Amino acid sequence: MPYRQLDHTADLCFEVSAGSFAELAGEALRAMMAWTGPEWTDVRVERPFRIEASDRVSLLVDLLNEALALSQIHREAYDAISIRFIDEHCAEGSFIGRVISGARDEIKAVTYHGATVEERADGSWVAILLMDI
């Protein structure tokens, strides 16, 4: 499983793993959106993004917060990400998903507090992400 929910006293915490940093971003997005329990419609959407940050942790947190903002503004949920470019300071691509008619739960924000991103010796990636609910 590419992600699992960790116990946390007040907020939502996920550990996400993947084979690359780009895949890590996609798995984190899917974990976050799946937790909200969106009520999907059949209307497909694609929302472009460009995020710049000082490091990979900030980049991942900012990317997920951008997805949350777009999701709330447009009443959409995203189950995929198409990345055209990504490095340690910038990500550019599109969130792909569907219009939703509602959601079971809401995430207010992904926080920098406690967030980690690590490339392991075997080349895989893991992140710990804390979300304000």
CATH number, domain at 87? Answer: 3.55.10.10
Q: How many domains does the chain have?
A: 1
| Pick from 1, 2, 5: nearest CA to 107 | 5
Give 103-133 pLDDT, tens digit per residue.
999 999 999 999 999 999 999 999 999 999 9
The domain in which residue 25 lies consists of 3-132
Q: Do 88 and 55 meet the contact criterion of CB atoms below 8 Å apart?
A: yes
How far apart, in whole angstroms, are the C-alpha atoms of residue 131 and residue 112? 9
Our CA angle for 83, 113, 29, nearest 5°, is 25
Three-state DSSP state, 112: strand
Q: Is the dihedral of CA 53, 61, 48, 81 positive or negative?
A: positive
Question: The whole model's pTM is what?
Answer: 0.92
Checking if the pLDDT of 6 tops 80, the result is no
